[in-house]
Homo-oligomer: A and B are copies of this chain.
Amino acid sequence: MEIVHDPKDFQKRMMQFRAEGKAIGFVPTMGALHAGHIALAERARASCDILVVSIFVNPLQFAPSEDLDKYPRTLGEDARKAEAVGVDLIFSPSPRDMYPAGFGSTVSCGAITTRLEGAARPGHFDGVTTVVLKLFNIVLPNFAVFGQKDAQQALVIRRMVEDLNIPVELIIHPTVRESDGLAMSSRNVYLTKEEREEAPLINKGLRSAYKVFCDGNCSARKIRSHVEDIYAAASFLSTEYVAVTDTFCNDISGEISCEALLSVVCRTKISGTRLIDNILLV
Binding site for B on A (CB under 8 A): 7, 11, 15, 18-19, 21, 102-112, 129-130, 133-134, 137-138, 140, 159-160, 163-167, 248
A-B pairs, 4 with minimum CB distance: A104-B110, A105-B163, A137-B165, A105-B109
In the complex, the count of this chain's copies comes to 2
Contact present for A167 and B106 (CB under 8 Å): no
Q: 12 more A-B contacts (CB under 8 A) besides A103-B163, A104-B110, A107-B108?
A: A11-B165, A19-B21, A102-B159, A104-B159, A104-B163, A105-B107, A105-B108, A105-B163, A105-B164, A134-B164, A134-B165, A137-B166
Q: Nearest Cβ distance between residue A246 and chain B, in whole angstroms?
A: 12
Can you name the residue of chain B whose Cβ is closest to the Cβ of A103? B163
Q: Nearest Cβ distance between residue A116 and chain B, in whole angstroms?
A: 15
CB neighbours (8 Å) of A163 from chain B are 103-105, 134
Known pairs A11-B167, A164-B133, A165-B138; A105 contacts B19 (CB<8 A) = no
CB neighbours (8 Å) of A138 from chain B are 165
Which of A7, A107, A138 has the most chain B CB within a 10 Å cutoff? Answer: A107
Can you name the residue of chain B whose Cβ is closest to the Cβ of A107? B107
Complex: A11 Cα to B248 Cα, angstroms: 26
Can you name the residue of chain B whose Cβ is closest to the Cβ of A166? B137
Complex: A160 Cα to B110 Cα, angstroms: 19
CB neighbours (8 Å) of A109 from chain B are 104-105
27 of the cross-chain contacts (CB-CB < 8 Å) are A11-B165, A15-B167, A19-B21, A102-B159, A103-B163, A104-B109, A104-B110, A104-B111, A104-B112, A104-B159, A105-B108, A105-B109, A105-B129, A105-B159, A105-B160, A105-B164, A106-B107, A107-B107, A107-B108, A107-B164, A130-B164, A133-B164, A134-B163, A134-B165, A137-B164, A138-B165, A140-B167
Complex: A103 Cα to B112 Cα, angstroms: 11
Contact present for A108 and B111 (CB under 8 Å): no
CB neighbours (8 Å) of A104 from chain B are 109-112, 159, 163
